[in-house]
Structure 1
């Protein structure tokens, strides 16, 4: 009935009784909670992702709160003063690392938005110059990843509205968090398709401007949020806030609109699902889940990927020959098994997790289905870019033990510079190091590990093989070729094979 679109349950405020807090939320009628992972460090985001992965009713966002836009650096002087060049250089280096990391974490299957991001000129805890730069960075990241935004704005509503307009944030939409009734932000948000987060402030005695504003905003453009542990509604002011309190906010909003709390909950929950595109994740997949390549049956479990390889099949569409691989939603383990069994009139040499995305972004599905297939005597391989441990924040290799017989890792280059040019990761050094570590760990845990590289002009295959063998893996050069009549487009790197050609 209710959906808390903004809570910080990853905070230490909930460390002692988080389970009880969630139990009270479900008892109060909540159907879902969005955990806002934001901060200059990695702890908040990783904890939000960990919690969201453990419960289907929890979702997460990733971003850097404007308070933390300094990225751990100390800046002296006025928040409006220009930043000295040496400090700006240090900050830029951190900015690149943080954006690279968050770009990868945003690919986690439970991430539904980029946020909370924006500007805060009330507390000015970070220089305004860096707040503005990061805000634009995150709007662009949201556009690139096609994710909605969660926007923080305080004492800077006109500038937030201007940046959202200039950066074409209408292409992403999202939620204006903690809306307090500002006319300029309301007009822009409505024009750009944003919803507005209503929280405990609505119950405060001095919030008459907000109450006047929300009487006239279309109800389908409002969502409920607690911002827990903050902004506890009356009559519980002074206590720690928690998601169960969203019922009090619904009651207050219903009183203003002449509706019951239940009716408010129904409409606002539908809006959260629409704005964050949760329902789209549950539409029927039109793309093929299982498809044959030579003697193997390939299993297509996601279209999301951690890289933007210049030679990827997706640059020419989502077809392998005449086989459609575009998924409107990601299949469940049961659907993957059903597709395998429907296609398995004959015994295949291997079942291979591989499509036009990175299968280990859905490690839980690969592991669950892989174990069941191996129990039935089917050999199992996973084709991967080797970045899942970096993206998901845990050692995926150890979890794969017993679920797969073979791991094939797309090495593709013998050094960071070549890897960056061909595969275009957000943070080339972090990605290359993580990929090499994944191969090294897999060689210790998995029966067969093969590192591969596409035979493209300019790729030093001998150097790739030396690197692969130094990491404990076999090596195979993948020809830029054809499969069952499929001839991929010619990229500007000189050619390649896509993952489905392994």
Structure 2
């Protein structure tokens, strides 16, 4: 039994075959999923999908790339949606210094506002980090984000930062890159993270794991991530499945 903690079934890539994609995931043993919404288009659809399936949940937040588009109205909207029974986290949020659509100062302010909102509604947060590790850690510390904790989504940074994240009450989530032949960092992290703080994800339709790299990713492929981590940790697939699922259920506060 697997738990894909971060998937974008609300992406346009799945508009034509979403039901079939979800069924393939179920058939592959992926019982639980969190569909992540991150803007005006994807947030309502994330909740809609979660309402249709008993074991699919939603997260709602605002992506840093689009931080410049977020107003007080959007923040209030996210707060309102956080009370929905299928919403289990706030995010994805964070900082993205790769793209230049939103200035860094705007991204930081929107990030801080969402952390404060999550603390207000007592929900874990999902962190998007691209080329901004030091600033993200500084903001998390300054905002006392350890009170709620959350997920370092698709962690692809140095193993040197892992303990800092763990100390701030965050789980480390690994996705497709851990299977890439030339990706050394996630492999190091996969071995280092304590079993009780490890999560897995696909981030589908992005970052498909080997041997599907370059193709559309989908939640059924989270099993490939689990298999690779089991190999790296020299343990069984069952142990990875059991522990990462248990960790996700605990983090999201699910009564299962």
Q: Compute the TM-score of the two structures, normalised by the length of structure 1.
A: 0.50
- Equivalenced residues, count: 256
Show the counterpart of 1:237. Answer: 213
Relative contact order: is structure 1 or structure 2 higher (C-alpha 8 Å, sep ≥ 6)? 2
How do residues 361-376 of structure 1 correspond to structure 2 at under 5 angstroms?
Answer: none
Distance in 2, matches of 1:125 and 1:221, equals 33
How do residues 286-301 of structure 1 correspond to structure 2 at under 5 angstroms?
Answer: none
Residue segments in structure 2 that go unaligned for 5+ positions in a row: none
Is 1:160 the equivalent of 2:136? Answer: yes
Distance in 2, matches of 1:144 and 1:189, equals 21
Show the counterpart of 2:65. Answer: 67
Deviation of 1:262 (Å): 2.0
Would you say the 8 A contact 1:148–1:276 is kept in 2?
Answer: yes
Show the counterpart of 1:173. Answer: 149
How do residues 193-272 of structure 1 correspond to structure 2 at under 5 angstroms?
Answer: 193-272=169-248
Deviation of 1:171 (Å): 0.7
Show the counterpart of 1:29. Answer: 29
- Higher mean alpha-carbon deviation, 219-228 vs 185-194, is at 185-194
Q: Compute the TM-score of the two structures, normalised by the length of structure 2.
A: 0.97
Deviation of 1:214 (Å): 2.0
Deviation of 1:166 (Å): 0.8
Show the counterpart of 1:87. Answer: none
Would you say the 8 A contact 2:155–2:174 is kept in 1?
Answer: yes
Show the counterpart of 1:52. Answer: 50
Would you say the 8 A contact 1:48–1:60 is kept in 2?
Answer: yes
Per-residue CA shift, 1:306-335, capped at 9, x if unaligned?
A: xxxxxxxxxxxxxxxxxxxxxxxxxxxxxx
Would you say the 8 A contact 2:124–2:252 is kept in 1?
Answer: yes
Residue segments in structure 1 that go unaligned for 5+ positions in a row: 72-93, 283-502
Show the counterpart of 2:163. Answer: 187
How do residues 357-396 of structure 1 correspond to structure 2 at under 5 angstroms?
Answer: none
Would you say the 8 A contact 1:157–1:184 is kept in 2?
Answer: no
Distance in 1, matches of 2:195 and 2:157, equals 14
Per-residue CA shift, 1:400-435, capped at 9, x if unaligned?
A: xxxxxxxxxxxxxxxxxxxxxxxxxxxxxxxxxxxx
Q: In the alignment, which of 90, 100, 121 is matched to residue 97 of structure 2? A: 121
Show the counterpart of 1:107. Answer: 83
Relative to structure 1, is the Cα distance of residues 255 and 183 closer, same or farther in structure 2, using a 3 angstrom cutoff?
closer
Deviation of 1:249 (Å): 0.4
Show the counterpart of 1:337. Answer: none
Give the structure with the higher percent helix: 2
Larger Cα Rg: Structure 1 or Structure 2? Answer: 1
Show the counterpart of 2:7. Answer: 7
How do residues 434-445 of structure 1 correspond to structure 2 at under 5 angstroms?
Answer: none
